[in-house]
């Protein structure tokens, strides 16, 4: 179950495509799609992991899978979060629903000192869509995804997560968007807030976000 903070984050994003399917199922690594199983070395070959049963179809040649890794698993490079997630998701981009030609997404993550670390798992359920500078909430100052059904540029999409990083203890939440093109990810957006979500549904008082990085397309 998502926390109110996470709920607000996803509400703000207003996704053009659904978040990666909820309700992961247990599966042995050696029963994963072959090309994904080969890459998913954070669990033993016959070890049990969790996988979203319905991958996200981005276009005819790009399908995104989410498979869980223990935070302390072999080869895992994760972002420490204030919420103690035992597992994060590795994301695999494949050519079809069979996982053919799967490639694990590596995401550049900005440390507070300005250096970059390449993470290979995400702490929150990732969302797929497209955001331009026009898609910025007047209510919160945060980015959101285009709510209109649209065709992405060939081999391209945006990937977003919201989370509370421990390396920035003063923050209540941060939002990151990566531009993924042909399987390679570039961080194009980072916004953060020191305010917490207040109130009860449907009468939330939403936090105000400060934009640190915004390289989204103009339109």
- Burial of residue 53 (CB within 10 Å: 0-12, 13-18, 19+) is exposed
Mean pLDDT rounded to a whole number for the chain: 89
Contact 157, 185 (CB under 8 A): no
Q: What is the pLDDT of residues 150-189, one digit of tens each?
A: 788 989 999 999 999 999 999 999 999 999 999 999 999 9
Q: How many CB atoms lie within 10 A of CB 200?
A: 7
User: Going by C-beta distance under 8 Å and a sequence separation of 6 or more, which residues neighbour residue 124?
Assistant: 6, 9, 161, 162, 163
> What mean pLDDT comes out for the span 81-101?
95
Whole-number percent of the chain with pLDDT over 70: 90
Residue 7 to residues 11, 131, 177, Cα–Cα distance (Å): 6, 19, 17
Residue 160 to residues 91, 126, 178, Cα–Cα distance (Å): 12, 6, 6
Q: What is the pLDDT of residues 26-64, one digit of tens each?
A: 999 999 999 999 999 999 999 999 999 999 999 989 999
More confident residue, 18 or 165: 165
More confident residue, 170 or 17: 170
More confident residue, 104 or 86: 104
Choose among 180, 132, 177, 178: nearest CA to 156. 180
| 3-class secondary-structure state, position 169 | coil
pTM of this prediction? 0.88
For the chain, which residues make up each domain, given as ranges? 4-214
Confidence of residue 22 (pLDDT cuts 50, 70, 90): low
Tell me the torsion sign for CA atoms 75, 78, 83, 88.
negative
Confidence at residue 14, expressed as pLDDT on a 0 to 100 scale = 39
């Amino acid at each position: 179950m998502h926390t109110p903070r996470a709920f607000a984050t996803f509400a703000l994003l207003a996704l053009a495509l659904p978040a990666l399917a909820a309700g992961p199922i247990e599966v042995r690594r050696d029963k994963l799609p072959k090309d994904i199983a080969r890459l998913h070395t954070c669990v033993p070959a016959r070890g049990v992991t969790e996988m979203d049963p319905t991958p996200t179809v981005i276009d005819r040649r790009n399908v995104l899978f989410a498979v869980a890794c223990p935070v302390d698993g072999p080869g895992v490079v994760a972002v420490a979060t204030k919420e103690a997630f035992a597992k994060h998701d590795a994301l695999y981009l494949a050519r079809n629903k069979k996982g053919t030609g799967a490639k694990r997404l590596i995401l550049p993550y900005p440390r507070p000192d300005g250096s970059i670390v390449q993470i290979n798992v995400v702490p929150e359920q990732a969302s797929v869509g497209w955001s331009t500078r026009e898609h910025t909430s007047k209510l919160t100052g945060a980015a959101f995804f285009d709510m209109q059904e649209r065709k992405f540029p060939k081999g391209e999409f945006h990937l977003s997560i919201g989370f509370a990083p421990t390396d920035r203890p003063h923050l209540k939440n941060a939002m990151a968007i990566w531009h993924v093109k042909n399987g390679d990810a570039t961080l194009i957006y980072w916004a953060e807030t020191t305010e917490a979500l207040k109130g009860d549904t449907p009468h939330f008082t939403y936090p105000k976000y400060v934009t640190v990085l915004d390289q989204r397309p103009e339109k």
